[in-house]
Structure 1
Amino acid sequence: MSTELPPSTIPLFPTVASYREWRRKAYDEKKSVGFVPTMGALHEGHLSLVRRSLAENDLTVMSIFVNPAQFAPHEDLATYPRTLPRDLELLAALSVNTPAGPRSAAAVFVPSVQEMYPSGITQSIAEQKGTFVEVKGYSHQMEGKTRPTFFRGVATVVLKLFNIIEPTRAYFGQKDIQQALLLRRLTRDLLLSHPEPQNLIIAPTARDPTTSLALSSRNAYLSPDERNDAALALYRALQAAKSAWEEGMPKVDCVARAAGVIEQKKHGLGDAVDLRLDYVEMNDPETFDVLPEGVSRTQWAVDVADRPVILSGAMWVGKTRLIDNIVLGAWHTLGIVE
């Protein structure tokens, strides 16, 4: 094991070979394995997924790997928070009581970039060599419109991780709803057995109990004033759009109401914070297609009662880009499990 890894009471596996040796033992013992993939900088959102996995599986594995393939050349790969010692301390402190007894994390996969990309990796797609995965037709909408290379990098690294970890169940948060639904489609289209599509679990977005701000590793970039004031505008904007949708207003007016909340907040802040709306949009969760401008809730659900819609948005607070979403309608039909 690499001497560069911090001390940990949980077994750390920096190589595919070392992890697979551990995984074979779990197979021999017929134990289920839950998996929570992360890029580290752990927060309560990650830990809630770990707790769920501990409750539902014999063994729980987490990966901590900052994936360069999902960062465009102008994005924050170099400055993305890396807090491995603290992450391991948080993870080691977790324990869940189950009928089988107390459970804590069984292993952490902490690979190097070279281990995950044996052919090498650069952030420039034009210069990349090797094998990459693309989910055609589902990567250019919503987040993909602003970050056109993002889901190619996500699909590639998560497929690698699934092949390595071989999880019985894998856990993702609703905050990244497009990512979670896209990965479920990947498991279905590529006929994966670990996990099978129904075992890719989507948990509701973890939020600050006081402010309702969606928990994110990038929140660490925010100053206290930004985090407790300006950053809250995005969720409030989505709530305003939700209310408009439930009132029967057409989609174009719902989006306009959300944008108005952001604009009002921006005006109130003046020059104190650079607040910029990236997008607010409403999309079909099956196709990710944008809803027609004039469609209302009644028209959208004419054939399917309470037909769900993904209402999502992204906003810049200074140099920090935040995302959030609300699923309108029958959210449980998307496999989101409370």
Structure 2
Amino acid sequence: MLIFNNKAGITSLLSNYVSTKYNIGFVPTMGALHQGHLSLLQKSVQENDITVISIFVNPTQFNNPEDLEKYPRTLEADVEKIKSVSDKIIVFAPSVNEMYDGNTSSGSFSFDGLEHQMEGSHRPGHFDGVGTIVKKLFEIVTPTNAYFGEKDFQQLQIVKKMVEKHHMPVNIVGCPISREENGLAMSSRNQRLSAEDRTKAAFIYKTLKEAQQLFEEKGIEFTRNYVADAFSVHPEFKMDYFEIAAEDDLIPATIKENKKYRAFIAVFLSNVRLIDNISLN
């Protein structure tokens, strides 16, 4: 398995594959890998000649310094998990200085309003950080296909918009959410939950499933109120937001139109912020 810590090394290697028109699959991650990440890797390996995974905790997308500090960093264990998929996967694990050339700051991006909804309104600057690092990574790896999980559905739409607006020759592939047996969406942050909290966290997906049914039967406003009431009687959770929005523009829905809708939620449990979403139609 090849592991690179610098841009020059991986760029030099990949240029050979680009010149011979190999398909390059790419899975960008912040490490602390779980089965959801591995499923993205498996799909990439199946669909491309070469697969690259990046492991980089990006400081510019954290608006909370404590969250950045506590984010799990488990490179050794991550490499072993990657090997379980294939020992031919190329790993890119740069330092912050290597990625930002000594200037750790994000650029300014417009995503046609996608950045102002939900995560954007609750985490100022977050999507500027996401846009900055994903654009840098795409320019280094030059992937044919890049794989993102739908757990971060807003991020997925943001990346698609960035690729469109910057005319980047990358096909963005959205992949289904991987879940624990109890329905909890797999996330690197789950490592910070106790066993008891992981059990409690099943309530998030259970409520989303109920919202899915209520959306069809009772409509938008009833569903929003139901979810707010459901969490209000579980004080161990602190809700950041619950929103029903159209998939294409992420604008909160008021009346049902001929669109695809999703329910999005962010809650704190034991000071760990958990997000999830579900398709409503």
TM-score past 0.5 threshold: yes
Give % identity. 38
CA distance in 2, matches of 1:290, 1:114: 38
CA distance in 2, matches of 1:212, 1:245: 20
Contact 1:282 1:312 survives alignment (8 Å): yes
Contact 1:135 1:155 survives alignment (8 Å): no
Contact 1:134 1:151 survives alignment (8 Å): no
CA distance in 2, matches of 1:318, 1:19: 39
CA distance in 2, matches of 1:131, 1:258: 36
Which stretch shows the higher mean deviation, 133-142 or 34-43? 133-142
What does residue 201 of structure 2 align with?
231
CA-atom RMSD in angstroms: 1.5
Matches within 5 A, 1:183-198: 183-193=159-169, 195=170
Higher helix share: 2
Q: What's the offset of the Cα at 1:74?
A: 4.0
The question of 1:283 aligning with 2:261 is answered: no
1:175 to 118, 142, 151: 151
After superposition, give the CA deviation of every residue in 1:222-252 in whole Å (9 maximum; x if it has no partner). 0000001x211211221121111111x2311
Could you list the runs of 5+ residues in structure 2 that have no partner in the other structure? none
What does residue 47 of structure 1 align with?
38
Contact 1:233 1:261 survives alignment (8 Å): no
Matches within 5 A, 1:1-338: 10-95=1-86, 104-121=87-104, 128=105, 131-193=107-169, 195=170, 199-208=171-180, 210-228=181-199, 230-247=200-217, 249-266=218-235, 274-292=236-254, 295=255, 300-301=256-257, 304=258, 307-329=259-281
CA distance in 2, matches of 1:73, 1:48: 29
After superposition, give the CA deviation of every residue in 1:9-48 in whole Å (9 maximum; x if it has no partner). x111111110111011112332111000000000000000
Contact 1:240 1:257 survives alignment (8 Å): no
CA distance in 2, matches of 1:279, 1:73: 17
> What secondary structure sits across from 1:93 in the alignment?
helix
Could you list the runs of 5+ residues in structure 1 that have no partner in the other structure? 1-9, 96-103, 122-127, 267-273, 330-338
CA distance in 2, matches of 1:111, 1:81: 16
Contact 1:139 1:148 survives alignment (8 Å): no
TM value normalised by structure 2:
0.96
Q: What's the offset of the Cα at 1:93?
A: 1.6
Count residues in correspondence: 281
CA distance in 1, matches of 2:149, 2:231: 25
Counterpart of 1:200 in structure 2: which amino acid? Answer: I
Counterpart of 2:177 in structure 1: which amino acid? Answer: T
Counterpart of 1:242 in structure 2: which amino acid? Answer: Q
Contact 1:15 1:111 survives alignment (8 Å): yes
Q: What's the offset of the Cα at 1:131?
A: 4.1
> What secondary structure sits across from 2:25 in the alignment?
strand
Counterpart of 1:290 in structure 2: which amino acid? Answer: P
> What secondary structure sits across from 1:290 in the alignment?
coil
CA distance in 2, matches of 1:181, 1:55: 24
CA distance in 1, matches of 2:75, 2:280: 36
Q: What's the offset of the Cα at 1:187?
A: 0.5
- Relative contact order (C-alpha < 8 Å, sep 6+): which is higher? 2
Q: What's the offset of the Cα at 1:72?
A: 1.1
Say if 1:30 and 1:74 are closer, same or farther in 2 by CA, change over 3 A.
closer
CA distance in 1, matches of 2:64, 2:252: 27
Runs of 4 or more consecutive aligned structure 1 residues displaced over 3 Å after TM superposition: 130-134
